[in-house]
Copies of this chain bind each other. A is one copy, B any other.
Amino acid sequence: MPRKRNAHRNADTPTLADVARLAGVSDITASRVVRNKGPIADATRAKVLAAIAELGYIPNRAAGSLASSGSTLMSVLLPSLSNIVFPDVLRGIHTALTETAFQPVIGVTDYDPVIEERILLSFLAWQPAAVILAGLHHTATARRHLEHGRFRVAELMDIDGDPVDIAVGMSHWQAGYDTGKHLVQRGYRRFGYAGHTIASDDRARARYDGLRAALKEAGLLLIAEERVQGGSSTLAGRHLLEAILRKAPGLDVVVFPNDDMAMGGIFHCMHAGITPKEQLGIFGFNGLDIGQALPLPLSTILSKRFLIGKTAAEKLLESRERPAEKTIINTGYDIIEGATA
């Protein structure tokens, strides 16, 4: 004996069939109204919309997704949320997705490609319309899935490499190089670097490499270098500057991998009575608002996080199919001269 129909269904939740019945149309017509797809007579649309409102119908996206083998989810994999940079990117993505049917699903990788792979695979189970991740380095498995999947892919932040589909960002190596050239031109000669040890922060490393290349070109070297274990923070930057100056008192400029740490440097200067720029140049990266609100605005490079996120999401929405040609969008950066270097 067949089990009673609808045995395990959600009795109180109206379905599209309920809407269709109430509106006096077929299921598929109701579906067309909901999805705003295909030709529908105005009168029919009105009837269906009224039925939807009356029943308080909420479409079941799982069913829709299954039937159409595609979803309105966009997977977003970010290295971190502690660093305001990535919330800024996410804000850009979210801005582009507002008013569309797409929703971001987010995962945090802790800068670890293995975690990135694990989260990616679990996200693919939802058949996302697109995947957004940071950087161009992924595990081999991740890369394989990204290449063969039926979804768009955007790799953010960095453009120094070969993207799967779309890359949106800037050249971090170039930014580091320009930092070096800029500071040399300003007359600084005795360089220090106060960084962190996040091995997978490829961007910070690329900037570091660029900086060294510029120094080499000018016949200079990094005289001193200190790194904190693990994540960067303002407090770490403050302690680090103190430490590096103790070891190498003759420095005339210290470069930090980001504004958070650089601001810690500024705070150390304030505390120790060092005049930034004149006695010691301080240079950051990111161009955070807060650094520009300081009594002496921080000298730094403005990365365009929000724009990167927004541009990427907009670009992904242009077509569901992956185009034959890869796209690389350089959002560039601005050197903020500031008052500290």
Interface residues of A (CB under 8 A from B): 8-10, 12, 58-63, 65-66, 69, 71, 73, 81-82, 84, 86-88, 90-91, 94, 101, 103-108, 121-127, 148, 150, 233-235, 237-238, 260, 263-264, 267, 270-271, 289-290, 292-295
**Contact status of A289 and B235, CB under 8 A, knowing A103-B123, A295-B270:** yes
- Residues in B whose Cβ lies below 8 Å from that of A10: 69, 150
- Shortest CB-to-CB span from A245 to chain B, Å, is 16
Can you list the 7 inter-chain pairs with the closest CB atoms, starting with the nearest?
A: A62-B65, A234-B293, A61-B125, A235-B293, A87-B87, A62-B66, A271-B295
- Residues in B whose Cβ lies below 8 Å from that of A63: 62, 66
- Shortest CB-to-CB span from A310 to chain B, Å, is 13
- Residues in B whose Cβ lies below 8 Å from that of A103: 105, 107, 122-123
**Complex: how many Å from CA A150 to CA B271?**
56
Number of copies: 2
A125–B290 CB distance below 8 A: no
Q: Given A61-B62, A61-B126, A267-B293, 4 other A-B contacts at CB below 8 A?
A: A62-B66, A81-B88, A94-B108, A104-B105
**Complex: how many Å from CA A88 to CA B107?**
14
**Complex: how many Å from CA A122 to CA B166?**
28
**22 contacting pairs across A/B (C-beta < 8 A):** A60-B66, A61-B62, A61-B126, A62-B62, A62-B65, A62-B66, A66-B66, A81-B87, A84-B84, A87-B87, A90-B106, A103-B107, A103-B123, A105-B106, A233-B293, A234-B293, A235-B289, A263-B290, A263-B293, A267-B293, A267-B295, A290-B290
- Residues in B whose Cβ lies below 8 Å from that of A126: 61-62
B90–A81 CB distance below 8 A: yes
Q: Which residue of B lies closest to A236 (CB)?
A: B293
- Residues in B whose Cβ lies below 8 Å from that of A292: 235
A60–B105 CB distance below 8 A: no
**Complex: how many Å from CA A270 to CA B296?**
10
Q: Which residue of B lies closest to A239 (CB)?
A: B293
**Contact status of A9 and B87, CB under 8 A, knowing A125-B61, A234-B290:** no
